[in-house]
Every structure is written in C-alpha cells, then in structure tokens.
Amino acid sequence: MKTSIYPVLIASLFLTACVSGDKDYMETPKSDQIADLKDDDYDGVINARDICPGTPRGAEIDNDGCAEYVEHSDKKDLKILFANDSSEISPIFKTEIRTMAEFLGEYPDTSIQLQGFASQQGNAEYNIHLSKLRASAVRIALIEYGVDPDRIETVGFGDTQLTAKGDSAVSHALNRRVVASVVGFKGDVINEWNIFTRKKK
C-alpha cells in the first residue's frame, strides 16, 4: 500500500503561508536569567540552595542537598583492659586495635579520641599519669597499623570515672582501661533507587 504525499505537501504549504503572510515573523523571546541555576554536584539541588556541595553521585538527598545516611553496623568503639600498674597492651587486644585501624582507614574523614582510666589502687596523681600512658600506648599501636597521628587524640582521667564500683579484683580490672569512640562518623550514604539498581545476591 502506497502512502499519499498530499497531506505532507498541504502541511508544508500551510506553514509557508503562515511565515510569509501579511504578519511579520516574531522570534521566540529569550528569557532574562537572573538566578544561577547551576548544580555542580548533579544532585538535583542548585548551588544557591545546596548547603552540602560534593554529594556522592546517586545518593538520596534532602531538600538542602545533603546526603541521607544509614547507621553502620561496623565496629566503632574500642575497649582495652590493662594489668595492674601497667600500660602494656595484652596480645588479646591486638585484633581489636587492628580492626579499629582498618575502620579508620575505610573512613578517612573520621578521627578518634582515646580515653585512659585507672583503678583506685595507688594515689590519684600517679593514676592520672598511668591513664595517659595507657591511652598513648593504644595511640602508638594504631599508628603502627597506619592511622595518621593527627587523627588520634589522647586524654587521661585517672581514677575519676570508675566503670565498676567496689574494691574487688574484678572491679579494679574493669577500671584499668582505655576506651574510644570514632568522631565524625555518620555511616553509609543511602543510595537513591532507580531502575538500574541491582540488589546484592
């Protein structure tokens, strides 16, 4: 079946007549763009309103252009126990320290504060000094695993903050410790779902 060319010719003649008729041809008006509508990180929020520039591609964002985060399940806390009157780290805690170092390596924007403590055995002034030595020992261990020294802060509290009350051997052992929490860690960015998203098997 042959297609007729008459409808095409009629439409073409109609458009020609409209352009070359009595009325002058008017160009499409150009808008006067005042605001900057650039979106440098391509998150759908213009620079003028984006308070979180550099959002990861594909992240789910809020109205301010900031990525949404989900709480991460990886280990973020550290607890090391020490023998009486000692700042030497027991080998049983080496794995825990290495795990923390790997975590800090995975999240380079984070830092860590190491807080040293002591039991109430001995005088208070000496315990402050001992608690600082314990925190420093853990700091050195993290540095040996590749953590930047500038990301590690240490502080000693001596026997001023006991985690276990009482005068038993167990209570004293629990108080001779270094604890730490990662600072600045939010978690993983929630990725925006689209038709190309693939679920992990």
Low-confidence residues of the chain: pLDDT under 70 = 1-26, 29, 31-36, 41-46, 48-51, 53-65, 67-76, 185-201
How many C-beta atoms surround the C-beta of residue 151 within 10 A?
17
Show the domains of the chain with their CATH numbers: 39-72+188-201 (no CATH), 73-184 (3.30.1330.60)
pLDDT of residue 156: 94
Task: Kindly report the pTM of this predicted structure.
Answer: 0.58
pLDDT of residue 197: 35
Closest CA to 77 of 146, 8, 161, 138: 138
pLDDT of residue 201: 42
pLDDT of residue 62: 67
Backbone angles phi, psi at 42, to 5 degrees: 55, 40
pLDDT of residue 122: 83
Condensed to tens digits (0 to 9), the pLDDT of residues 40-58 reads 766 666 676 666 766 666 5
Q: Are 101 and 151 in contact (CB under 8 A)?
A: no
Closest CA to 75 of 50, 55, 60, 95: 95
